[in-house]
Amino acid sequence: MQAITSKEFEHIGDDTAVTVVDFWADWCGPCKMQTPVLEDLDQAYGDQVKFASLDVDQNQELAQSLGIMSIPSLVIFKNGMPTEKVVGFHPKAALKKYLDEKLTEVTA
């Protein structure tokens, strides 16, 4: 999973059908629980889904512009456009099911 800043964010999702950006902070307990889940899914999906993480404390303006009010928040990009936001901790099985649905939507 690639750590990004506001600068790299401009091109997020340009090269994959589905991209997941994890908005997190170092002080956030649920964020620390979500990270290993996302890292496992990153390995499982390979090139099908791109995963990135963005520290909201270091990139406050970007987080505010996307309406990030709670963390962890996952912003789902389909074909380079932000389409959905998932807030809070989610176990691996639930996120995998959700991402499988998103992949089906972009390939249908």
Residue 106 located in a structural domain: no
> According to the model, what pLDDT value does residue 47 have?
86
> According to the model, what pLDDT value does residue 6 have?
80
Tell me: cis bond preceding 72? Omega within 30 of 0 counts.
yes
Q: Which two tokens stand for residue 49?
A: 């889904």
Is 31 a residue of the active site? yes
**pTM for this prediction:** 0.89
Please identify which residue in the block is written with the tokens 């649920």. 30
> According to the model, what pLDDT value does residue 44 have?
94
Crossing angle between the packed helical segments 92-107 and 29-45, to the nearest 10 degrees: 50
Per-residue DSSP letter, 50: E
Catalytic annotation, pick one of 28, 63, 68, 76: 28
Residue 108 located in a structural domain: no
The three-class DSSP label of residue 41 is helix
Decide: 33 and 89 in contact? Cβ < 8 Å: yes
- In angstroms, rounded to a whole number, what is the distance separating the alpha carbons of residues 72 and 81? 20
> According to the model, what pLDDT value does residue 108 have?
59
> According to the model, what pLDDT value does residue 80 have?
78
Catalytic annotation, pick one of 4, 12, 20, 31: 31
Q: Which two tokens stand for residue 93?
A: 């099985």
Structural domain count, the chain: 1
CATH of the domain at 12: 3.40.30.10
Residue 105 located in a structural domain: no
Q: Which has the closest alpha carbon to 2: 65, 55, 61, 62?
A: 55
Residue 27 located in a structural domain: yes
Residue 100 located in a structural domain: no
Range of the domain at 53: 1-94
Is 19 a residue of the active site? no
pLDDT in tens, the chain (108 residues): 888 888 887 777 776 778 899 999 999 999 999 999 999 999 999 888 999 999 999 999 989 988 899 999 999 988 778 889 999 999 999 999 999 998 888 765
